[in-house]
């Protein structure tokens, strides 16, 4: 599933081509993806100018000039790619097509159809069921060591599970939690309640740096993810531990190398010697 850096990269690509432009057509090529499309969605969107495109957690938010907000989620395999509308050849899994007044087309392709579109008014967004309980953005000023430490206090789940909890911090997924815990030298098996204040500070710094590095590299491309331009992301070449079971630890001289365990049905990669 695309995580925060991938969604941020897509948002930036879309913003560069769509902000300030009017949407002339929204073609819904099936009645649903993960969920049915909102009733009358095309009529709500067509003719409206795109004011801003930004990210919240793993969601793309397209704010229109009348105060409406189009919400998109890429699901497991979704991609949004930009190209010229003229001569556009659609592929079998292009389920949604946007067109703008300057002849730009955006295709929302999703082979597995776990992605979706939703719509609400900007003033209702904080209370929307998708956003009402989300935690702070890890790259924002509202996320800090003391705030994280407070959220972890008394929690008896693993720190890996806690960081995947979108109520604690928004947008993190399996890849970037594994990478952040590695650079913070924190074992993924540690109980959340045992994380000390200084460790929370270190962990927040590691999370931010990993995310910023990933965004700079255009995200991580495993199977389906591409940038809005169609290019692959390159951060997978910078992973320290994720997907590297049995390989040497890049930052210590341990003999067993990177290990893999399963936590909550998800693979976790870590160095037992470096992370404690």
Q: Given 2, 5, 138, 188, which residue is catalytic?
A: 2
**Total Cβ atoms within 10 A of residue 10:** 28
Q: Given 58, 79, 151, 274, which residue is catalytic?
A: 58
46 an active-site residue? no
Q: Given 3, 6, 199, 259, which residue is catalytic?
A: 3
137 an active-site residue? no
Q: Given 34, 155, 266, 273, which residue is catalytic?
A: 266
Is 255 in a helix, a strand, or coil? Answer: coil
Round the CA-based radius of gyration of the chain to a whole number and report it.
20
Burial 142-177 (b: 16+ CB within 10 A, else e): ebebebbbebbeebebbbbbbbbebebbbbbbbbbb
- One DSSP character per residue, 135-199 reads ---TTSTT--HHHHHHHHTT--SBHHHHHH-TTTSSS--HHHHHHHHHHHT--TTSBGGG--HHH
155 an active-site residue? no
The gap between the terminal CA atoms of the chain, to the nearest Å, is 28
58 an active-site residue? yes
| C-alpha distances in Å from residue 112, one per residue of 5, 37, 41 | 21, 16, 22
Q: Which of 201, 235, 203 is nearest to 217 (CA)?
A: 235
| Catalytic site positions | 2-3, 58, 266
């Amino acid at each position: 599933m695309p995580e925060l850096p991938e969604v941020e990269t897509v948002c930036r690509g879309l913003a560069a081509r769509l902000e300030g432009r009017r949407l002339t057509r929204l073609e819904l090529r099936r009645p649903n993806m993960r969920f049915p499309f909102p009733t009358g969605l095309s009529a709500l969107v067509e003719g409206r100018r795109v004011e801003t495109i930004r990210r919240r957690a793993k969601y793309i938010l397209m704010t229109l000039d009348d105060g409406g907000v189009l919400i998109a989620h890429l699901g497991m395999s979704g991609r949004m790619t930009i190209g010229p509308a003229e001569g556009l050849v659609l592929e079998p899994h292009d389920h949604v097509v946007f067109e703008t007044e300057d002849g730009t087309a955006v295709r929302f392709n999703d082979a597995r159809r776990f992605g979706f579109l939703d719509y609400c008014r900007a003033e209702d967004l904080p209370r929307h069921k998708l956003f009402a309980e989300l935690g702070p953005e890890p790259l924002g000023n509202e996320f800090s060591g003391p705030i994280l430490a407070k959220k972890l206090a008394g929690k008896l789940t693993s720190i890996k599970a806690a960081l995947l909890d979108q109520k604690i911090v928004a947008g993190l997924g399996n890849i970037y939690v594994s990478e952040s815990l590695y650079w913070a030298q924190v074992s993924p098996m540690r109980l959340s309640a045992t994380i000390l204040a200084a460790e929370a500070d270190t962990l927040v710094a590691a999370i931010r740096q990993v995310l910023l590095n990933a965004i700079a590299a255009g995200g991580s491309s495993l199977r389906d993810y591409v940038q809005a331009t169609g290019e692959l992301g390159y951060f997978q070449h910078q992973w320290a531990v994720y997907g590297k079971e049995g390989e040497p630890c890049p930052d210590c001289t341990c003999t067993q190398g990177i290990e893999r365990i399963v936590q909550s049905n998800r693979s976790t990669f870590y160095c037992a010697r470096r992370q404690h």
